[in-house]
Structure 1
Amino acid sequence: MIFNENAMPLIVKYQSAREAEAIATQALLSAMESGSRDMPALDALTQEMTDAHNKAMDILDALQQHRIDS
């Protein structure tokens, strides 16, 4: 996708949100790989990952108004 120059602040936010999502995903994966059976902790990590993903997708949706490709 190609965006106009007005999208730059949102692109920076999107990049940060995707990095936060990757960190949350890695934390959940690490907990699962360690064999953790602490369901409340795993649920919390899952929720963090989901929230991070949803935030990134909200920013991506906002970026669509700046799209210049078809």
Structure 2
Amino acid sequence: MQQSDNLAAIWTPYVFYLDGKLSHCGVNSFQLVKTGPDWKIHYLIDNLHGGDCEQFIKQYSTDG
């Protein structure tokens, strides 16, 4: 996360499954604004990974 006062930016990889089958993968980017004690999503954008999702999963896996 990158933060400056009440603004923050976060990105996270995602993997999407449809009916139990790997459909696609990519990265979500969130722009957040702190209003009072809470952070709220102001903007969300995502991209679609153009390569092999199995390799993408291995690259971003936090398992083991």
TM-score, length of structure 2 as denominator length: 0.25
Q: Higher strand share goes to which structure?
A: 2
Which structure has more helix as a fraction of its residues? 1
Larger RCO, structure (CA 8 Å, separation 6 or more):
1
Q: TM-score, normalization: structure 1? A: 0.24
